[in-house]
Amino acid sequence: MRGRPEGPGDTAKIREALAATGKTYTQIAEQMGVTVASVSAYAAGARKPAAGNLGKLAQALGIHVSKLLREDTSDAA
């Protein structure tokens, strides 16, 4: 069954942070040690970064990792 990629990051927040940084996907990929295709997939929501790469992404973007995490809505009832 295909669903949304699992991971700790929030796709919309990742996309916004990537757009706001002013860096190219190539620059971010080089800083993270991943491929440009990976960064592009994170932005598109096709793939979510693993926890370790989420930290590297936050560092490359110059923001705290918490800015990329999805909010916990499990108590919202």
Distance CA 59, CA 38 (A): 16
Spans of all domains in the chain: 11-64
Which pTM value belongs to this model?
A: 0.80
Distance CA 76, CA 24 (A): 37
* Average confidence (pLDDT) over 9-17: 90
CATH architecture designation of domain 11-64? Orthogonal Bundle (1.10)
- For residue 76, pLDDT beyond 60: no
Q: What is the pLDDT of residues 27-75, one digit of tens each?
A: 999 999 999 999 999 999 999 999 899 999 999 999 999 999 876 444 5
Neighbouring C-beta atoms of residue 33, cutoff 10 Å: 10
CA distances from 47 to 24, 65, 67, 74 (A): 18, 17, 18, 23
Per-residue confidence (pLDDT) for residue 10, from 0 to 100: 87
- For residue 1, pLDDT beyond 70: no
The torsion angle over the Cα atoms of residues 19, 29, 23 and 65, rounded to 10 degrees, is 60
